[in-house]
Amino acid sequence: MRGKVILYSITVFFIFCLSVKLSSGEDVAKRNKWAHLVKDTGKKAADKLSKVFNPITIFMCGDVMTGRGIDQVLPHPGDPLIHEPYMKSARGYVEIAEKANGQIQKPVSFSYIWGDAIKELERVAPDVRIINLETSVTKSNDFWESKEIHYRMHPENIPTIKAAKIDYCSLANNHVLDWEYSGLTETLETLKKANIKSGGAGENLIEAEIPAVIEVEGKGRVIVFSYGAETSGIPFNWAALKDKAGVNLLKDLSDKTVRQIKKKIWKVKKEGDIVVASIHWGGNWGFHIPPEQIEFAHMLIDDAAVDIIHGHSSHHVKGIEVYKDKPIIYGCGDFINDYEGIGSYEDFRDDLTLMYFVSMDLSTGKLVHLQMTPMQIKQFKVNRASRADSLWLRDTLNREGKEFGTRVELNRDNILMLQWD
């Protein structure tokens, strides 16, 4: 950044020198020629400065699971019947959460689940807002029998997604088809009617692969491609085909797959665009990042012109890498869920989560800064985390980021700022 400031200072000085020359006694024709040069040079410098000092900022978070127990406290709860080995009613998850953290006054408002995140979104004012929507949005009762867990939110509760002004929902995950193909169709239709862009699932492979192009007035475009991997629990037979609905499933993490992705990206990416690869991959628990994920992320940046890797599936935050000035968030952690009161993984602190605000320089496609707001899930909503919990997140990210040369600093306002080599 310092180098760019120096460069633009030189440009401004050059413009000043030209202006002085214009004020000398040269003839009118020469003055007009210089004037046009000054105007053009000044406009280019201003455009460059605008892109560097007014970067595009994207809000990202992990899994937003608004089904099951959360659906039951929203204004339009669906049928609570579920088909789990240990729970037959979604209301059971409400009872467990209330036993752990106190009664939830039902029904809650549509904005309730976002808690303090609404104010934080207003404060930062990101240009684009992206989530992984990990639930089917449907009234369907046709559950996928070979799965043990089924998430669904009633379609009339879709205003809860709009309450946070979400621009894009990634659907390439292991719950979008929980309620069969009828549930997927209703999910796609509901999001479309609500004017919320989505990707990663469709009525056929072509639809599932189509990226979302989000125009940011006065700045540029953010293009989002969504993918899912079997390692996240997506059944192989959920893969979309030419004549079959489903998920945009990665066959593997090979260089051949990267070449296929590259073709798709190059068809739509223009100079100044920021491309996000939103990927649902890996297991729910564990900080270890498999070497094949790291290699795949690097290949997407090196060969396929991806600018941001938005990784999710893990129920807790994972390490962050900045590779060639491009951010790789390997696991965002859950952002909203109904897991309160369910024990056995306390050491991972899945109740703690982050709001990721990624700012990119449009002129270079490089990361300008990444700030993260620590949050805690409690009573089915996210609120600002305490200082002690924020320090826990800081220490965890520093430990896990060590191998990548990244670290975070916690400021007085309980905001984490990423530093990288």
Name residue, tokens 């959460």: 97
Q: Give yes or no: residues 225 and 268 share one domain.
A: yes
**N- to C-terminal Cα separation, the chain:** 14
Residue 327: cis peptide before it, omega within 30 degrees of 0: no
DSSP class of residue 404?
G
Q: Give yes or no: residues 40 and 60 share one domain.
A: no
Q: What is the DSSP string of 146-189?
A: T-S---EE-GGGTHHHHTTT--EEE--SSSTTTTHHHHHHHHHH
Q: Give yes or no: residues 45 and 165 share one domain.
A: no
pLDDT tens per residue across all 421 residues of the chain? 444 444 444 444 444 444 444 444 444 444 454 445 434 544 444 444 444 568 999 999 989 999 999 999 999 999 999 999 989 999 999 999 999 999 999 999 999 999 999 999 999 999 999 999 999 999 999 999 999 999 999 999 999 999 999 999 999 999 999 999 999 999 999 999 999 999 999 999 999 999 999 999 999 999 999 999 999 999 999 999 999 999 999 999 999 999 999 999 999 999 999 999 999 999 999 999 999 999 999 999 999 999 999 999 999 999 999 999 999 999 999 999 999 999 778 899 999 999 999 999 999 999 999 999 999 999 999 999 999 999 999 999 999 999 999 999 999 999 999 999 9
Q: Give the pTM.
A: 0.88
Q: Give yes or no: residues 60 and 24 share one domain.
A: no
CA distances from 406 to 38, 153, 370, 395, 418 (A): 42, 37, 11, 12, 7
Domain boundary among 28, 51, 74: 51
Q: Which residue, 326, 333, 258, is CA-closest to 293?
A: 258
Q: Give yes or no: residues 40 and 122 share one domain.
A: no
Q: Give yes or no: residues 166 and 31 share one domain.
A: no
Q: Give yes or no: residues 346 and 258 share one domain.
A: yes
Q: Give yes or no: residues 221 and 147 share one domain.
A: yes
* pLDDT of amino acid 3: 44
* pLDDT of amino acid 130: 98
* pLDDT of amino acid 63: 97
* pLDDT of amino acid 20: 44
Angle between helices 28-53 and 2-22 (to 10 degrees): 160
CB 190 within 8 A of CB 137: yes
Q: Give yes or no: residues 19 and 130 share one domain.
A: no
Contact partners, residue 120, CB within 8 Å, separation at least 6: 355, 373, 384
Q: Give yes or no: residues 47 and 79 share one domain.
A: no
Angle at 33 (CA atoms; ends 17, 10), nearest 5 degrees: 25
Domain span at 326 = 55-420
- CATH of residue 250's domain is 3.60.21.10
Q: Give yes or no: residues 43 and 118 share one domain.
A: no
* pLDDT of amino acid 68: 97
- The dihedrals phi and psi of 190, each to the nearest 5 degrees, come to -65, -45
Return the half-sphere exposure (C-beta side, CA atoms, 13 A cut-off) of residue 49: 14
* pLDDT of amino acid 54: 80
Count of structural domains within the chain: 2
For the chain, the 3-state helix, strand and coil shares in percent, each to the nearest 5, are: 35, 25, 35
CA dihedral 296→234→58→197, nearest 10 degrees, is 130
Q: Give yes or no: residues 46 and 175 share one domain.
A: no
